[in-house]
Structure 1
Amino acid sequence: MKKKWALAPYLFLAPALLVFGFAVLLPVVNTVGYSFTTWNGYGEKIFVGFDNYIAAINDATFRASFVHVIGYIALTLVLEVAVGLVLAGLVGGIRRGSLWFRVAIFTPVMLPMVVVAVLWAFVYNADFGLLNAALETFGLAEFQRVWLGDTSTALIAISVVSGWVYAGFYMTIFYAAFSQVPGDVIEAARLDGAGELRIFRSVKVPMIRNAVIVAVLLCVTGGFQSFDLFYVMTNGGPYGATEIPTTYLVKTVFSFGKVGYGSAMAVLLTAVIVGFGLVFVRLTGRRREGGRP
């Protein structure tokens, strides 16, 4: 009986492991295998060794795409994480109606990203968009732009949309973390004469440091995986100003038919994301233990 029951946990895990192996592990193994070949998706595969990886590293567009996504991540760290932190502090200070504010701010997260991209494309439209119309109404017509068609504003415009969507997501994380801060600590700070801003900056935020670390990690790794906003709003344009690794990878595979080359780029992108995650966790872990990175 004991031996029979000893197998029970593995039997319960088996279906999930099979699905994981079929849906995740098998595609990963196939992608790595394809990355060493030249293949158009239906013809004969030709083994080329590391040629695809060398070509990807030497590809100026692929290298520039990482510069663009790093700029996007830097902007979203402010527009999503920092703004979400501030919103959590503001909503937490509302005594009545806090729930409605949280729901209103969180609502964009529940919208399909493709719908969000299409709506904001109309907002940014140079001819009849809401943004240019508002600027003209307020006498600021000189600031009107072709927002998604200008190389100097396209990436910023997409980052603003991302911040509008995900600031509510991070607000929810931080609000939940703030609710776990002991009330006696806050009361002690108030008795010492600290104002609400000082309490927020010097008491609440340091006490939810782990939540902030998790939020930063989610924002950075999620930024590298971004695709839908860029694909729908600009598809890498204008002139490659918003080309990021995922959009360039999809074009390479599905538009140019270079499955092997695209697979090599996918492997490199995955290595960058995993490498950053491991380094980030390592560094933050050392700081929590009191060591120096």
Structure 2
Amino acid sequence: MRPNRRIVPYLFAAPALLLFGFAVLAPALATGAFSLTEWSGFGPMEFVGLDNFVRAARDTVFVSSFLHVAVYIAVTIVLEVAVGLALAGVLVTRRGGSPWFRVALFTPVMLPMVVVAVLWGFVYNGDFGLVNAALKAIGLGDLSRVWLGDPATALLAVCVVSGWVYAGFYMAIFYAAFAQIPGEVVEAARLDGAGELTIFRRVKVPMIRNAVEVCVLLCVTGGFQSFDLFYVLTGGGPYNVTEIPTTYLTRVVFRDGEVGYGSAMAVLMTAVVVLIGLAFMRSRLRKAS
């Protein structure tokens, strides 16, 4: 039944639009306005124009935080997306595998990230952690160290935790995508003499290319949204080697009380994420054409 008045569709959409305006649009506009001021969160604001953006461009910690998150994203694409794709391929090859195996792989996704970070903090503990204990048990005690306190291993240690959590998430997505592939295509490849590995690489993965691209985009944008894992495990340390834009922004705003400067960093980070998303969509349109 079609509405007999043009205003009816807008009335139905009004609650969602109001919620979007209140929860997303208004804070975004306020952040943009704050970025042009020097303000501690209390008292009068002082308009400073683009000074905060210039300061952010010269802030070595802020600039290096983007390098850290880029490394984090690159490693997690392997540990999350690639490992999830491999796990899904194994499950499909084995006709679905055990349901309990799939549940076990997906369980870490359902745990609160703060709980995961606390648990892995014990695993990485330099005195009684499981990692050092395992190394000593197999005769590699010389490799034991304070994993989260060593600048050479802290960022990689955080990446491993993230991979442990989200590999099962991407596995579930890829498993569902593989299940949509027509069985006739796979059987035809087998009749042509292709092995399971060749079928996986040359048939199955190309047929779920859209799912792979979406998962990579989720991994990239999710990397910029990461906060709790870094904050609980390392707090940005040691010596800022695990500082990412979100943790540094939080420290500047809530510890140092520089709301204006923190807002400028938030605007810059948002701009970077938007540009990455636009570049991704443009590349997909080029492939489609």
Sort the TM-score into its range (normalised by shorter chain): over 0.9
Q: Alpha-carbon deviations, 1:82-131, whole Å to 9, x = none?
A: 00000000111223643222111111000000000000000000000011
Aligned match of 1:147: 147
Aligned match of 1:266: 266
**Contact preservation (8 Å) 2:147, 2:157:** yes
Distance 2:281 2:100 in 1: 35
Distance 2:212 2:131 in 1: 32
**Structure 1: where are the runs of 5+ without partners?**
none
**What TM-score, normalized to structure 1?**
0.96
**Contact preservation (8 Å) 1:62, 1:245:** yes
Q: How far apart are residue 6 of structure 1 and its match?
A: 3.0
Q: Quick check: 1:194 aligned with 2:183?
A: no
Q: Alpha-carbon deviations, 1:255-288, whole Å to 9, x = none?
A: 0000000000000000000001100110122123
Distance 1:2 1:140 in 2: 73
Aligned match of 1:247: 247
**Contact preservation (8 Å) 2:91, 2:97:** no
**What TM-score, normalized to structure 2?**
0.97
Q: Quick check: 1:15 aligned with 2:33?
A: no
Q: Alpha-carbon deviations, 1:131-182, whole Å to 9, x = none?
A: 1111111111011011000001000000000000000111111111111111
**Contact preservation (8 Å) 1:148, 1:157:** yes
Distance 2:102 2:217 in 1: 23
Q: Alpha-carbon deviations, 1:5-30, whole Å to 9, x = none?
A: 43222111111111110011000000
Aligned match of 1:112: 112
**Contact preservation (8 Å) 1:91, 1:101:** no
Q: Quick check: 1:39 aligned with 2:39?
A: yes
Amino acid at match of 1:74: A
**Contact preservation (8 Å) 1:151, 1:238:** yes
Percentage of identical aligned residues? 68
**What's the C-alpha RMSD, in Å, of the aligned pairs?**
1.3
1:1-293 aligned within 5 A: 4-95=4-95, 97-289=97-289
Amino acid at match of 1:38: E
Amino acid at match of 1:141: G
**Structure 2: where are the runs of 5+ without partners?**
none
CA 1:2–1:206: 2 relative to 1, 3 Å: closer
CA 1:2–1:177: 2 relative to 1, 3 Å: closer
Q: Alpha-carbon deviations, 1:216-265, whole Å to 9, x = none?
A: 11100110111010000000000001000000000000000000000000
**Contact preservation (8 Å) 1:35, 1:260:** yes
CA 1:226–1:236: 2 relative to 1, 3 Å: same
Distance 2:149 2:84 in 1: 29
> How many pairs were matched up?
289
